[in-house]
Chains A and B, each alone.
Chain A
Amino acid sequence: MSRHDVQLTVNGVSHRVQVESRLLLVHLLRENLRLTGTHIGCDTTHCGACTVLIDGEPVKSCTVLAVQAEGAEITTVEGLEQNGKLHPVQEAFWEKHGLQCGYCTPGMILTSCALLARDKDPSEAQIREAISGNLCRCTGYSNIVKAIQSAAERLRQQ
Chain B
Amino acid sequence: MSEPRTSPEVCGMGHSMKRKEDPRFIRGRGNYVDDIQLPGMLHMDIVRSPFAHAKIKSINAEKALKIPGVLAVITGETLAKYNLHWMPTLMSDTQMVLPTEKVMYQAQEVAAVIATDRYVAADGVEAVEVDYEPLPVVVDPFKALAPSAPVLRTDKKDKKDNRIFHWEAGDRAATDKAFADADVVVAQDMYLPRIHVASIETCGCVADFDRVTGKLTVYMTTQAPHAVRTVFALVAGHVGLSEEKIRIVSPDIGGGFGGKVPIYPGYVIAVAASVVIGKPVKWVEDRMENLQADSFARDYWIHAELAAKKDGTMTALRIKTVADHGYADAAANPSKFPAGLFSICTGSYALQHAFAEVDGVYTNKPPGGIAYRCSFRVTEAVHCIERITDVLAQELKMDPAELRMKNFIPPASFPYKSALGWEYDSGNYPAALRKAMDMVGYEALRKEQAEKRARGELMGIGISSFTEIVGAGPSKQFDILGLKMFDSCEIRVHPTGKALARFGTKSQGQGHETTYAQIVAEELGIPAAHVQVEEGDTDTAPYGLGTYASRSTPTAGAAGALAARKVREKAKKIAAHLLECSPDDLVWEPGKFSVKGAPSRSKTIQEIALAAYTNHPQGMEAGLEATSYYDPPNLTFPFGSYIAVVDIDRGTGQVKVRRFVAVDDCGNIINPMIVDGQIHGGLAMGLAPALLEEISYDDDGNITGGSFMDYLVPTAMETPNWETGKTVTPSPHHPFGAKGVGESATVGAPPAIVNAVVDALAHVGVRHVEIPVTPERVWRLLKEKGLAE
- Residues of B contacting A140 in the complex (Cβ-Cβ under 8 angstroms): 679-685, 719, 722
A106 to chain B, nearest CB (A): 5
A-B contact count (CB 8 A): 180
Q: How far is the CA of A99 from the CA of B253 in the complex (A)?
A: 13
Q: How far is the CA of A137 from the CA of B686 in the complex (A)?
A: 11
Question: When each residue 701-717 of chain B gets 1 if its CB lies under 8 Å from chain A and 0 otherwise, what string results?
Answer: 00000011100010111
B198-206, B468-476, B763-771: which one contacts chain A?
Answer: B198-206
- Residues of B contacting A105 in the complex (Cβ-Cβ under 8 angstroms): 25-26, 28
Count the B residues whose beta carbon is within 8 Å of the partner chain — how many? 57
- Residues of B contacting A81 in the complex (Cβ-Cβ under 8 angstroms): 27
**Does A39 lie within 8 Å of B201, measured CB to CB?**
yes
- Residues of A contacting B255 in the complex (Cβ-Cβ under 8 angstroms): 100-101, 103, 137-138
Kindly identify which residue among B23, B119, B252, B683 contacts A94, using a CB–CB cutoff of 8 Å. Answer: B23
**Does B721 lie within 8 Å of A102, measured CB to CB?**
no
Question: When each residue 32-69 of chain A gets 1 if its CB lies under 8 Å from chain B and 0 otherwise, what string results?
Answer: 00111111111110110100000000000000000000
- Residues of A contacting B654 in the complex (Cβ-Cβ under 8 angstroms): none
- Residues of A contacting B34 in the complex (Cβ-Cβ under 8 angstroms): 30, 36, 39-40
Q: Is A86 an interface residue (CB 8 A)?
A: yes
**Does B717 lie within 8 Å of A129, measured CB to CB?**
yes
- Residues of B contacting A39 in the complex (Cβ-Cβ under 8 angstroms): 32, 34, 200-201, 254
**Does B509 lie within 8 Å of A38, measured CB to CB?**
no
Kindly identify which residue among B27, B35, B119, B198 contacts A137, using a CB–CB cutoff of 8 Å. Answer: B198
Question: When each residue 685-709 of chain B gets 1 if its CB lies under 8 Å from chain A and 0 otherwise, what string results?
Answer: 1000000000000000000000111
**Does A77 lie within 8 Å of B27, measured CB to CB?**
yes
**Does B22 lie within 8 Å of A38, measured CB to CB?**
no
Q: Is B288 an interface residue (CB 8 A)?
A: yes
- Interface size band for A: 35 or more
Kindly identify which residue among B18, B26, B510 contacts A100, using a CB–CB cutoff of 8 Å. Answer: B510
Question: When each residue 478-508 of chain B gets 1 if its CB lies under 8 Å from chain A and 0 otherwise, what string results?
Answer: 0000000000000000000000000000001
Residue of A with least CB distance to B683: A140
Q: Is A132 an interface residue (CB 8 A)?
A: yes
Kindly identify which residue among B32, B674, B715 contacts A132, using a CB–CB cutoff of 8 Å. Answer: B715
Instruction: Kindly identify, within residues 706 to 743 of chain B, every residue whose CB is under 8 Å from any CB belonging to chain A.
Output: 707-709, 713, 715-717, 719, 721-722
- Residues of A contacting B683 in the complex (Cβ-Cβ under 8 angstroms): 140
- Residues of B contacting A117 in the complex (Cβ-Cβ under 8 angstroms): none
Q: How far is the CA of A86 from the CA of B673 in the complex (A)?
A: 22
- Residues of A contacting B19 in the complex (Cβ-Cβ under 8 angstroms): 94, 97
- Residues of B contacting A139 in the complex (Cβ-Cβ under 8 angstroms): 677, 680-681, 684
- Residues of B contacting A93 in the complex (Cβ-Cβ under 8 angstroms): 22, 26
Q: Is A20 an interface residue (CB 8 A)?
A: yes
**Contacts A124-B721, A141-B719; A102 near B680 (Cβ below 8 A):** no
- Residues of B contacting A142 in the complex (Cβ-Cβ under 8 angstroms): 680, 719, 721-722
Kindly identify which residue among A49, A76, A78 contacts B200, using a CB–CB cutoff of 8 Å. Answer: A49
Q: How far is the CA of A34 from the CA of B37 in the complex (A)?
A: 9
Residue of B with least CB distance to A90: B26
- Residues of A contacting B22 in the complex (Cβ-Cβ under 8 angstroms): 93-94, 99, 102
**Does A35 lie within 8 Å of B28, measured CB to CB?**
yes
- Residues of A contacting B93 in the complex (Cβ-Cβ under 8 angstroms): none
- Residues of B contacting A46 in the complex (Cβ-Cβ under 8 angstroms): 707-709
Q: How far is the CA of A104 from the CA of B679 in the complex (A)?
A: 18
- Residues of A contacting B685 in the complex (Cβ-Cβ under 8 angstroms): 137, 140
B671 to chain A, nearest CB (A): 9
Q: How far is the CA of A65 from the CA of B670 in the complex (A)?
A: 46
Of residues A49, A127, A131, A143, which shows the largest number of chain B Cβ atoms within 10 Å of its Cβ? Answer: A143
- Residues of B contacting A38 in the complex (Cβ-Cβ under 8 angstroms): 28
Q: Is A154 an interface residue (CB 8 A)?
A: no
Instruction: Kindly identify, within residues 6 to 32 of chain A, every residue whose CB is under 8 Å from any CB belonging to chain B.
Output: 20, 22-23, 27, 30-31
Q: Is B156 an interface residue (CB 8 A)?
A: no
- Residues of A contacting B252 in the complex (Cβ-Cβ under 8 angstroms): 101-102
Question: When each residue 12-29 of chain B gets 1 if its CB lies under 8 Å from chain A and 0 otherwise, what string results?
Answer: 000000110111111111
Residue of B with least CB distance to A95: B18
Q: How far is the CA of A124 from the CA of B681 in the complex (A)?
A: 18
B718 to chain A, nearest CB (A): 9
Kindly identify which residue among B28, B118, B200 contacts A77, using a CB–CB cutoff of 8 Å. Answer: B28
A12 to chain B, nearest CB (A): 15
A135 to chain B, nearest CB (A): 5
Q: Is B257 an interface residue (CB 8 A)?
A: yes
Of residues A94, A124, A136, A144, which shows the largest number of chain B Cβ atoms within 10 Å of its Cβ? Answer: A136
- Residues of A contacting B197 in the complex (Cβ-Cβ under 8 angstroms): 137
**Does A137 lie within 8 Å of B37, measured CB to CB?**
no
**Does B27 lie within 8 Å of A37, measured CB to CB?**
yes
- Residues of B contacting A80 in the complex (Cβ-Cβ under 8 angstroms): 27
Q: How far is the CA of A84 from the CA of B716 in the complex (A)?
A: 31
Q: Is B287 an interface residue (CB 8 A)?
A: yes
**Does B681 lie within 8 Å of A128, measured CB to CB?**
no
Q: How far is the CA of A17 from the CA of B124 in the complex (A)?
A: 26
Q: How far is the CA of A20 from the CA of B491 in the complex (A)?
A: 50
Q: How far is the CA of A58 from the CA of B722 in the complex (A)?
A: 27
**Does A128 lie within 8 Å of B708, measured CB to CB?**
no
Residue of A with least CB distance to B717: A132
Q: Is A109 an interface residue (CB 8 A)?
A: yes
**Does A78 lie within 8 Å of B199, measured CB to CB?**
no
- Residues of B contacting A74 in the complex (Cβ-Cβ under 8 angstroms): none
Q: Is A152 an interface residue (CB 8 A)?
A: no
Q: Is B340 an interface residue (CB 8 A)?
A: no
- Residues of A contacting B677 in the complex (Cβ-Cβ under 8 angstroms): 97, 100, 138-139, 143
Q: How far is the CA of A20 from the CA of B118 in the complex (A)?
A: 13
Q: Is A145 an interface residue (CB 8 A)?
A: yes
Q: How far is the CA of A127 from the CA of B716 in the complex (A)?
A: 9
Residue of B with least CB distance to A107: B200
B264 to chain A, nearest CB (A): 18
Q: How far is the CA of A136 from the CA of B119 in the complex (A)?
A: 27
**Contacts A37-B27, A37-B29, A81-B27; A128 near B510 (Cβ below 8 A):** no
**Contacts A97-B677, A103-B201, A142-B680; A128 near B27 (Cβ below 8 A):** no
**Does A109 lie within 8 Å of B288, measured CB to CB?**
no
- Residues of B contacting A137 in the complex (Cβ-Cβ under 8 angstroms): 197-200, 255, 257, 681, 684-685, 713
Residue of A with least CB distance to B36: A36
Residue of A with least CB distance to B284: A40
**Contacts A46-B708, A47-B287, A47-B708; A90 near B27 (Cβ below 8 A):** yes
Of residues B18, B30, B202, B286, which shows the largest number of chain A Cβ atoms within 10 Å of its Cβ? Answer: B30
Of residues A44, A104, A131, A138, which shows the largest number of chain B Cβ atoms within 10 Å of its Cβ? Answer: A138
**Does B201 lie within 8 Å of A141, measured CB to CB?**
no
Q: How far is the CA of A144 from the CA of B719 in the complex (A)?
A: 12
**Does A97 lie within 8 Å of B200, measured CB to CB?**
no
**Contacts A100-B509, A140-B683; A22 near B26 (Cβ below 8 A):** no
- Residues of A contacting B99 in the complex (Cβ-Cβ under 8 angstroms): none
**Does B119 lie within 8 Å of A22, measured CB to CB?**
yes
**Does B35 lie within 8 Å of A100, measured CB to CB?**
no
**Does A109 lie within 8 Å of B716, measured CB to CB?**
no
**Does B119 lie within 8 Å of A20, measured CB to CB?**
yes
- Residues of A contacting B28 in the complex (Cβ-Cβ under 8 angstroms): 35-38, 76-78, 105-106
Question: When each residue 184-208 of chain B gets 1 if its CB lies under 8 Å from chain A and 0 otherwise, what string results?
Answer: 0000000000000111111000000
The interface of chain B, by Cβ under 8 A from chain A, is 18-19, 21-30, 32, 34-35, 37, 118-119, 197-202, 252-255, 257, 286-288, 508-511, 673-674, 676-677, 679-685, 707-709, 713, 715-717, 719, 721-722
- A selection of 13 A-B contacts at a CB cut-off of 8 Å is A36-B34, A41-B200, A43-B286, A44-B708, A90-B26, A93-B26, A94-B23, A97-B674, A99-B25, A102-B26, A102-B254, A124-B721, A137-B685
The interface of chain A, by Cβ under 8 A from chain B, is 20, 22-23, 27, 30-31, 34-44, 46-47, 49, 76-78, 80-81, 86, 90, 93-95, 97, 99-106, 109, 124, 127-129, 131-145
Q: Sorted from nearest, which 7 A-B pairs have the closest CB atoms?
A: A37-B28, A101-B509, A103-B254, A102-B25, A140-B680, A77-B28, A140-B684
Beyond the given A100-B511, A137-B257, please list 7 additional residue pairs across the A-B interface where CB-CB is below 8 A: A23-B119, A94-B22, A97-B673, A101-B508, A103-B201, A139-B680, A141-B715
